[in-house]
Structure 1
Amino acid sequence: MTSGKNKLIALFAVAIVVIAGVVIFTADNSKDDGDFTVTDMRGRIVSIPSNVDKIVCLSAGSLRLVEYLGAADMVVGIDKEDSNVSKPTYYKGTYHIAFDVKGIANVGNEENFKAIKDTGAQVIISSATDVSKLDDLQDKTGISVVGIDAGGNRGVASDELSKNLKLLGKVLDKSDRADQLTNYIKDTIKTMEDLSKKSTVIKDAKCYLGGMFFYMKGGLYKTTGNLDPFSILGANNVMPFKEGNPYDTKVQEVVIANPNYMFIDSITIDATKKQFDDDKELLKNVDAVKEGKIYSLFVDRFYGINWESELMNLYYIGSVLDPKVFDYNVDEKMQSVLYMFYPGIGLKLSNIKDKQGPGAGVLDW
């Protein structure tokens, strides 16, 4: 009986060793493969190869985020929008000024499987909203596809922006940079929120943003009810919130809203000025027009949001609404934003103004 019991114990011990060996072997095998998984912004679990050094960026916001992370040198393929340097509005995207796409393959879009595969990329980054499109792209190319969320309401203060940065930081081995940038954004917003609490006049600010741009259309009445700089400062945006991207309002609605500050996006400043002049008789009793409180801003969005511009505009708008509280050198603050978002390349405010229009300043309209 004792002998049988000893045999059973021995067999059990051997089984443990064998199982342990299998477990250890399996774990080592997985480590050798070097793969890890992420859950992307569309809720998809994606396997990522280690040591990624070649990527393709597709749809709005992808290339911009990759540049923010200092990973532009990894890009081997971009879509037709980011490739079209001859487009008159091309440099309205600040990231297009910061990074020269010459020599980068134009792969068209998410449906051009062969062109994408031919780049030799290990990861594709796309902001396409259709999960089936992302899955199909991954299946047809055999390349890991990471979905990001860069939609119209994903402003600089949004959780989505920080999540996008952290996700891509992990995928591209740029987590330290992602943390640096997300902390900078968070700290800047907190500083401005704290300053706004000291202001006794911001609560009375009724602000309108015109001249926005969406799908090649802009003008004075292209606006949004969702602008992070207004929200962060606690200023009243006179336009109603609507889910999604910039929308069209009418001159009558602006007159009724009666903003005492008008801000104009620089992206189509000439066309916006013409509309303003055409409707000047109708707008003449609007407080902002009567008091000459009309100002230009850096381009808020072009093929996605210029998130660095939102922080630059935040500094400027604060200084306009309450210069006593927001008492700082505005140009220095805005320049510091560019240095943080595009480190090491010496991008200047003057470069942006040359390519995008007047930037932030008073408009003599």
Structure 2
Amino acid sequence: MFLLLLIMILFIITGCGTTTQKQTTANVQAKSDKIRVTDMAGRKVKVPLKINKLIALGCTLREVEYLDSCDKVVGIEYRENAKQREGVFPCGKDLPYLIAHPELGNLPVVSAGNSINYEEIVKLKPDVIFTPVIPTYQAEFLQIKVGIPVVMVYADPIGTTEQDKQYYDSLNLMGKILGKEKRADEIIKIITDYQNDLKSRTKSIPDNKKLKVYIAGRAFCGSQGITGTDPHWPPFEWINAKNVASLLSNKGKSINVDKEKLIDWNPDVIFISEASLSTVINDLKDPAYKNINAVKNKKIYGVLPYCWYAYNKETAIADAYYIGKILYPEKFTDIDPEKKADEIYQNFVGKPVYKELKEQFGGFKEIKVGQ
């Protein structure tokens, strides 16, 4: 009798132990299905360990493409839709990542400006939604409304050390979420290698040998006129150029300056973002600008839009090589700007797309302005 009782007790204990082990294993498995990340706004967000489907709002699709994750995208913004037309530029033909991946333009549209189609997002069932850094309550509202994790990432300008760091941190965050850590490291290395090459070519040029330069028509929420500029425009930063607007801010951003200030700065060379080309050319016909050195000496050049539907980082690098060739030809003798641009686009978006961008905007060229 005692022996039978002992066997029953052991059976019960063993049985309970097995159940507990199974429950523990199940709990560990459940926990491992998600990871907790801190987004670029400092929010703690739980996201699936494996991302199969995603939506990238607020121009963050560009970074998803850089990270070789286009196959996971299930919805796009109205501006990225292949059938939509905005201004004079056919959508998809003016953005490097959409030229390289036109199939993205045929996906369902989930947002247009500040209007989000919540029902469409729920129907598409993405595992995660990326957005730029927006007010926290907006991200939380979106997350609750659709029941999908919302991760805010850095989609602002680069150019200064602080801005670059935020961008690299954001790429690493997205790489972790998408299982693309290696590609994130690769993109960061590509950017820094180009930056280092550009800076090393121009670092020995003394200030008194540098021409004063100005970027005109730096787009922001659409094209701008001649007074739209950037005090820390990345292509100028990377080649140590003397940006006449640099004292107006300690970071790269869109600003508008007084006409009189631009005339007083008297830049030696003006570069025009070709998203704003016609507007700036029309502005330059104003006789008030005729005595600016760049206008008098016909030193005006067009560059591809770095800031155009957010910030095309690869285009900024391509512009920098062209500008370096114009300002310091002896330092860039080995560079064919158009071929270099295609090398850069290949590294970022997987295809050489300079030809298509040139057809849309004009490409690297001297701009003739009639007074």
- How does the TM-score come out when normalised to structure 2? 0.84
Task: Tell me the distance in 2 between the aligned counterparts of 1:73 and 1:176.
Answer: 17
Equivalent position SS for 2:352: coil
Asked if 1 retains the 8 angstrom alpha-carbon contact of 2:300 and 2:366, the reply is yes
Worse overlay, 141-150 or 281-290 = 281-290
Residue 222 (structure 1) shift: 1.4
* 190-199 or 255-264: bigger deviation: 190-199
Q: What letter matches 1:115 in structure 2?
A: E
User: Is residue 63 from structure 1 mapped to residue 61 from structure 2 by the alignment?
Assistant: yes
Instruction: Tell me the residue number matched to 1:359.
Output: 363
1:232 aligns with 2:235: no
Q: Which residue of 2 aligns with 1:94?
A: 96
Cα distance change on mapping 1:86 and 1:133 into 2, 3 Å: same
Residues 1:149 and 2:154 aligned together: yes
CA-to-aligned-CA distance 1:45-77 (integer Å, 9 cap, x gap): 1111122111011113x1111111111121111
Residue 80 of structure 1: CA displacement? 2.8
Match of 2:368, as an amino acid?
Answer: D
Look up the match of 1:7. none
Q: Is contact 1:149-1:164 (8 Å) kept?
A: yes
**CA positional deviation for 1:187:** 1.1
Could you say which residue in structure 2 is the equivalent of 1:118? 123
Cα distance per residue 1:144-187 (max 9 Å; x no partner): 11101212x43486112212211111111111111111111011
The DSSP-based 3-state class of the residue aligned with 1:118 is helix
Contact 2:198 2:238 in 1 (8 A): yes
CA contact (8 A) 1:199 1:322 kept: no
Q: Which residue of 1 aligns with 2:107?
A: 104
User: Structure 1 residues 178 and 203 mapped into 2: Cα distance closer, same or farther (>3 Å)?
Assistant: farther
Alignment of 1:123-138 (within 5 A): 123-138=128-143
The root-mean-square deviation of aligned C-alpha atoms, in Å, is 2.5
Quote the Cα distance in structure 1 between the aligned partners of 2:201 and 2:39.
35
Distance in 2 between residues matched to 1:23 and 1:46, nearest whole Å = 29
**Partner amino acid, structure 2, of 1:99:** H
Does structure 1 residue 180 correspond to structure 2 residue 179?
Answer: no
Structure 1 residue aligned with 2:5? none
1:110 Cα deviation after fit? 6.7
Amino acid at match of 1:341: F
Question: One-letter code of the match for 2:295?
Answer: V
Closer, same or farther in 2 for the Cα pair 1:163/1:203, shift >3 Å?
A: farther
Question: Does 1:76 find its partner at 2:84?
Answer: no
Residue 45 in structure 1 maps to residue 40 in structure 2? no
Separation (CA, whole Å) in 2 of partners of 1:320 and 1:59: 34
Does residue 1:163 correspond to 2:184, yes or no? no
SS class of match (2:302): strand
Give the match's secondary structure for 1:324: helix
Segment of structure 1 superposing worse, 196-205 or 63-72 = 196-205
Amino acid of the structure 1 residue aligned with 2:198? M
Q: 1:311 aligns with which of 312, 317, 323?
A: 317
Q: Secondary structure at the match of 1:269?
A: helix
Distance 1:169 1:332 in 2: 29
Decide which moves more: 233-242 or 285-294: 233-242
Measured at CA, do residues 206 and 244 of structure 1 come closer, stay the same or move farther in structure 2, by a change above 3 Å? closer
Q: 1:250, CA displacement in angstroms?
A: 3.3
Deviation at 1:234, TM superposition (A): 1.7
Query: How does the TM-score come out when normalised to structure 1?
Result: 0.85
C-alpha distance in 2, partners of 1:137/1:203? 53
Deviation of the 1:205 alpha carbon: 2.2
Residue 102 of structure 1 aligns to a residue in which SS?
helix
Q: Report % sequence identity.
A: 27
**Paired residues of 2:272 and 2:303 also in contact (CA < 8 A):** yes
Change (3 A) 1:347 1:67: same
Pick from 284, 287, 297 the counterpart of residue 291 of structure 1: 297
Q: What CA distance in whole angstroms lies between the structure 1 residues aligned with 2:203 and 2:56?
A: 40
Deviations 1:235-270 (A, max 9, x none): 121114346742222332211001111101111212
Taking the aligned partners of 1:264 and 1:125, their CA distance within structure 2 comes to 32
Instruction: Report how many residues are paired.
Output: 341
